[in-house]
Structure 1
Amino acid sequence: MFLPVRRSTVSLLGACALGALMAAPALAETVKLTILGVGDVYEFGGEEGRGGFARLNAVARAERAANPNTLYLFDGDMLSPSLLSGFDKGQNTIDLTNLVPFDLAVPGNHEFDFGPQNFLEKMAASKYPWAAINITNADGSPIAGLGGVMVKDMGGVKVALIPVAQDTTPEVASSGDLKFLPTVEGGIAAAKAAREAGADLVVGVFQTNNDNDRALIASKAFDVILSGDDHSYGTYYDGITAYVETSLDARFLSPVDLTVEIGEKDGERTVKWVPNFRFIDTAAVTPDPESQVLSDALAKQLDDSLNVVVGTTEGPLDSRRNVVRAEESAMGNLIADAIRDATGADVAITNGGGIRADRTYDAGTVLTRRDILSELPFGNVTVVTELPGSQVLAALENGFSQVEKGAGRFVQVSGIEVVYDPTAEPGSRVAQVKINGADLEPDKLYKVATNDYMLGGGDGFSALGGGKVLTNTGEGGLMANDVMRYIEKTGKVTAKVEGRIQVVGK
């Protein structure tokens, strides 16, 4: 059942929940539970024989067959970004997960990349429940169809599932006027309320970063925490909380088996448990046949339209996550140069987090439409706004404000040479800026090419707003198309790292 949670973190579980928890069947001696968590699954077919929905579905089917007391939980991010989601806004992920439905799914920030209405449509098309205790409408009212705390009876063990979304979603996605309440505080409060209402086990299903994960573990409010968002894999147990960071694209999975002993002492119900973490490298998993048929059909659709050559690289390109979010990259320069060329703007600024293929290209690589759309899967539109130099500077400051965190707001630029100090306080890191060879003038107006997401304040780029918009989202073209046309002009890519972004003292 769902127990909807409103804005208040005090009254998180009502009388209905209390009754459900306390009306437990006769006590069992030992119950084995399996909890399988997954998140951040973007590429429907996986990569190089590992991950993807067909292998994930095979593992989920096998776990449920081996143990009927299995919870299959999703901790955020699948509708976007991917090559195919640029066309169908994530419908492929719904079709594939509907074949082996989750017991519960938490929306990640990427569920809102195409706006809140698309998420609501995809949620309605899902054959499984979505839930998050900390997302409301603008007026604080609950979102129709989005659940809250869920209580499951697993072999006589009352398990409370606490689903929590990332509260920074409005900064990094297009979530409209939806409200996202605090992730950590709200999750802990809900977990304590569930425990007080009689839950035997409390399982947190979070889409949040590692820093928040550590705070959640330190709270000692949870028995198990499943967390996505960081694209890494890991397990941890401190004797109180079992924790799984759920990897990327279902490449590596870690079902957690809990051996739960239920007893009685001094007239009180007692529950003890021990975790066993299993490791599954999905490269060794035979894909689920039904899912593979659908996956193959989706791949064929892409192949027919995307294997078209656009040009060849003269030098290497690098779009790895740790590069485009931390330093000047040739791929970033290519994209920024392309949107500047397409618009005739003075400068171009784009966010490294919007560059997504996470790979390198050797010199001489033949690039196809598939490659460019893999790098720019969000369907962002190129826009141009006219801003004073002071706001251009503020936008650059925002771009460097979280470089130590690997944040997606790190900028890739064209027409700009900037020197910054990562050790300085955020907001005061830019030491020098030149615009097309001349010092930036605070009062001078510059035409700035960027993308519609950033123009709307995404990734904290509020400084890009308020200017005279010369090309809006209705008039602009897709960034990916601008890049493809730019390459096709000469049939080659000459972009390279050339000192556009420098660090003080280096």
Structure 2
Amino acid sequence: MKNASSIRKKGLATVLSGFLLLSVPVTGFAHDGGAADSSSVKSEFVGPAFEKSTHALSQVTFTIIHDTHFHGNFGNPKEPNNIANYFGIANKIKAEKPNSLFIGNGDDLGTSVISSTFQGQPIVDAFNAGKLDVDTFGNHDFDMGPDQLSKLVKASEFPWVSANAVDKRTGDVFAGESGAKRFIIKEVNGVKIGITGLINEEAPQITSMGPNAIVLNPVEAMKKIVPEMKAAGAQFIIVSSHLASPDARIVAEKVDGIDLIVGDHAAFAFDSPEKIHNTLLWFIGDEFTYLGEMNFNFQNGKVADFNYHRYALKTDVAKEGYQPDPNVKAVMDGYNSKLSKELEVQIGSTQTELDVMKSSQRKAETAIGNLVADAMKDYTKADVALINGGGIRAERIFPAGPLTKKDILDAMPFTNYVEKLDITGDQLYQALENGVSQIESGAGRFPQVSGIQFVYNPKLTPGARVLDVKVNGQALDRKAHYSISVVDFVAEGGDGYDVFKGSKILLDKNAGPVLSKVVGDYIQQKGTIAPKVEGRIQVSGDAPTNLYSDLNGQSFEAVLAEMDLQNKGILGSADGGKQFQPEKEMLVGEFTQVLRKALNLKPSDLQEADKLDANAKLTREQMTMLLSKALKVINKQPTVNSEALKSLDAFADKEALNNNAKSDWVVVAYTGLIRGKADSKGRAYLSPADIVTRVQAAIVIERLLQLK
């Protein structure tokens, strides 16, 4: 078994990769963006028998060199790990084996200080000089926006390919008008090699793809394009992959006809390739640590044999006679010289130390986060400002003292533009809930804020964590309107901030400046700054049971449901006072009103309720019918098929159900809205005639909101 090392951690997919053994449980793609059913992908490492040094080929038909994933960096020119040395090894292989292709895998153009300063052009110039053969899109290639990426595609002397990055206006590949292709076919030593690419499916949520660039499901995209590639003559099909390696393995498992997948969004580095069905996969990390070489003996329309070798720049560059690629080195040195002059200008100074570590911005209020948010609020004259913590990163701590342009670009490397929106207090509340919803995983959505003070409890359920919000010292009015300064990435729903999409724009990104300029100008104007942590974001360990005096003894789910529905104005105290009265029986009319309010339904949307006595006590069967009809209205009602019918098998009284109502029971049981009542022997019952209490109704409505 070969070892795998993580070059850079990149979220859940990276964690999943770390557990990879010979049997890999992974989560499949779903068309709605969620997870599909799990499958067990069998991946067999090819092992040391194929190591190049011990396994010579009778002939080498063609060679594949991979991959890039440079994040807009040139690397350190004084150390082995830099772009000139990377291309030096690649082009040394090409000189020895002219039947070679060098394949990139995206995330090359952004985002670094040098790529932000020169808008991604340095990497394109280096790739042109080094004669890269093909590249694909990664999420960071969109960090400067789709228009700039399209310009860079046009400036490239090599093709860009993608099977699933699409312009929804044309249905064709993104940047097709600039020369990008869905796939290309290169004839190498008599073999027609087809090459396409895949971008990670969550890219629209984590970068700036704009309103027209969309990402197709990778499995479905490959199932469509492989036959097209074969029809065009491809004999050997390669996927330049910017998927996380667990997701690439799913593609190999579910799509026939792919011969080789290289590249990994999650940046895991494996010593050797692996094989799933008839597909080889090899993941070698990112940036400049490793470069992969695979040699193929291709005979009679198929691979007869292959070997491979992984180069480590730290050791291979030190070997006698090695030389960096001179053309790429000239590009690197030229841009580095320009950058030094451009960025070493002092713009101000700080009296306090600034922690600009990426991890710090994702878990708590920081001084640099307050500075950035204050600069945004000041520039736009907004009521409040919010910046996603993932947009601030430098992996170092700025000491008290001078600040240069380079420091600011280092801290804010993304080309994000400042916008100003008109939002409601409820939108702001929901945005803060989103911001603290994934704090456990260190997600970039954690909010750094200005003009906002809020308290949250990370032990509570995501979506019901925010306990108190003030805007400039006054209690948040969820019905009032506020102006907010955000970056375009957040305004367009990035990092889960969907609540801002469609808001009235008071200053759009075409008029707003880039974030790093806003912050740089703010510092330059003040001359000396002293930002500090002020208590804008506070963490509470208290459960919110004290908001109602009669919640003691309720389950944790019940307390969360009751408090969340109160905060959202859906279901409050039974008497308008301090008691929720959880055991009070629910009336039909009361539940109907709550249901309509929770789903924003019109009276005509739930006509079935009008046939019931509004003043009668609500039974579980009546609640089930109303929930089922409501699911249909919001297009969340599942099909009642054989699989759904099995959801009733666990209930001892399923045979006693009214046949006319059975489909409704299937729907609510299958979606998990109603989970039955258990007796002392652990048997579950649906109990259709039982009267529903307020706490039971609150739990069901909260589950419905989560489902929605």
TM-score normalised by structure 1 residue count: 0.80
**Residue correspondence of structure 1 range 78-477 to structure 2 within 5 A:** 78-142=108-172, 143-144=176-177, 145-155=179-189, 159-171=193-205, 172-187=207-222, 190=225, 201-216=236-251, 218-219=253-254, 222-231=258-267, 233-235=269-271, 237-240=273-276, 242-248=280-286, 250-258=287-295, 260=297, 262=299, 271-281=304-314, 284=318, 286-356=323-393, 358-404=394-440, 406-421=442-457, 426-477=462-513
Q: Percent identity?
A: 31
The 1:117/1:318 distance shift into structure 2, 3 A limit, reads same
Q: Is the contact between residue 200 and residue 271 of structure 1 (CA under 8 Å) also seen in structure 2?
A: no
Q: SS of the residue aligned with 2:416? A: coil
Q: Which has the higher helix share?
A: 2
CA distance in 2: counterparts of 1:161 and 1:434, whole angstroms: 54
Q: Is 2:68 aligned against 1:68?
A: no
CA distance in 2: counterparts of 1:260 and 1:278, whole angstroms: 21
**TM superposition shift of 1:391:** 0.5
Match for 1:279: what amino acid? A
Q: Is the contact between residue 87 and residue 324 of structure 2 (CA under 8 Å) also seen in structure 1?
A: yes
Q: Is the contact between residue 34 and residue 67 of structure 1 (CA under 8 Å) also seen in structure 2?
A: no
The 1:173/1:270 distance shift into structure 2, 3 A limit, reads closer
Q: 1:39 aligns with which of 53, 58, 69?
A: 69
**TM superposition shift of 1:465:** 4.1
**TM superposition shift of 1:207:** 1.6
Q: Is the contact between residue 222 and residue 255 of structure 2 (CA under 8 Å) also seen in structure 1?
A: no
Q: SS of the residue aligned with 2:444? A: coil
Q: Which runs of 5+ in 1 are unaligned?
A: 1-27
Q: SS of the residue aligned with 1:148? A: coil
CA distance in 2: counterparts of 1:244 and 1:420, whole angstroms: 43
Q: Is the contact between residue 136 and residue 198 of structure 2 (CA under 8 Å) also seen in structure 1?
A: yes
Q: Is the contact between residue 366 and residue 532 of structure 2 (CA under 8 Å) also seen in structure 1?
A: yes
Task: Specify the structure having the higher radius of gyration (Cα).
Answer: 2
Match for 1:452: what amino acid? D
Report the count of equivalent residues.
473
The 1:235/1:132 distance shift into structure 2, 3 A limit, reads farther
Q: Which has the higher strand share?
A: 1
CA distance in 2: counterparts of 1:490 and 1:283, whole angstroms: 47
Q: Is the contact between residue 387 and residue 487 of structure 2 (CA under 8 Å) also seen in structure 1?
A: yes
**TM superposition shift of 1:116:** 3.0
Match for 1:187: what amino acid? M
Higher relative contact order (CA 8 A, sep 6+): 1
Residue matched to 1:14: none
Q: Deviations over 1:276-322 (max 9, x none)?
A: 43333387575322222232222222222321112334343233333
The 1:483/1:287 distance shift into structure 2, 3 A limit, reads same
CA distance in 1: counterparts of 2:313 and 2:341, whole angstroms: 33
CA distance in 2: counterparts of 1:46 and 1:85, whole angstroms: 15
Q: Is the contact between residue 84 and residue 324 of structure 2 (CA under 8 Å) also seen in structure 1?
A: yes
Q: Is the contact between residue 113 and residue 175 of structure 1 (CA under 8 Å) also seen in structure 2?
A: no
TM-score normalised by structure 2 residue count: 0.59
Residue matched to 1:7: none
Q: Is the contact between residue 40 and residue 229 of structure 1 (CA under 8 Å) also seen in structure 2?
A: no
Q: SS of the residue aligned with 2:79? A: coil
